[in-house]
Amino acid sequence: MDCVLEHPFETGHFDDGAALRPGGLELTIRAMQCAGFTAGKRILDLGCGVGAGTALLHRHGCEVIGLDLSPARLADACRESPAVAGDARRLPFADESMDGILAECSLSLAGYDAGTLTECRRVLRPGGRLAITDVYARHGDTDPTPLPGCLAGLAPRADILAALAEAGLAIQRWEDHSDVLKVFLAQLIFSGRGAGALWTGDGSAYTAALRACRPGYFLLVAAKERLG
């Protein structure tokens, strides 16, 4: 049974995700351009939430399908394009059926594990690209305090790159966009939610962990290399 979360950022998405998301739609457009997600391309929006990225891809002429764990959010995501409930570790799509994959604040939740990334590679056609915008740890230091939501999946840049390479995905671009996190926090405050929307409980308990890893935000494009 699905439920409505008191703190939606625990899933990586707010209900009004088009307005409140790190980098806004501008960073999504940047990711689409860098990955070559143009009209006619078949694109999977992995962890689509309420479908802000899905709708943007659709408006740019892509043949897009959204996937998310939450059936409730998919009701909004599939207004213009199809969307299905599913697990990133077991994608319900045929081999080499996608020209690209967009993953915004979703792989930090699913984890940069072999199962998820191997599935991404499996469904990509040769030459297909995976575009990621997500959080990462700018420092490799760790703190025993577990972080909430997508912050729980914070990984250093080196670990993310190594996991993608291990899955057979070739890195083509890495851009640091850590400045968007400051803007995002300001949006939360001015929206009336405040920083408390980021997690349940006492946020001060996470201060040491956040200082240790120094969260940042990045855009990455990786490709499934053609054989031969």
Active site residues: 104
Contact by Cβ (8 Å): 147, 210: yes
Contact by Cβ (8 Å): 43, 129: no
Residues 6+ apart with CB under 8 A from 181: 22, 135, 215, 216, 217
Residues 6+ apart with CB under 8 A from 202: none
Contact by Cβ (8 Å): 67, 32: no
Residues 154 and 134: their CA atoms lie apart, in Å, by 9
Contact by Cβ (8 Å): 73, 55: no
Amino acid at 23: G
DSSP 139: S
DSSP 39: T
Residues 129 and 43: their CA atoms lie apart, in Å, by 9
Element (H, E) at 73: helix 71-77
Residues 104 and 17: their CA atoms lie apart, in Å, by 11
3-state secondary structure of 174: strand
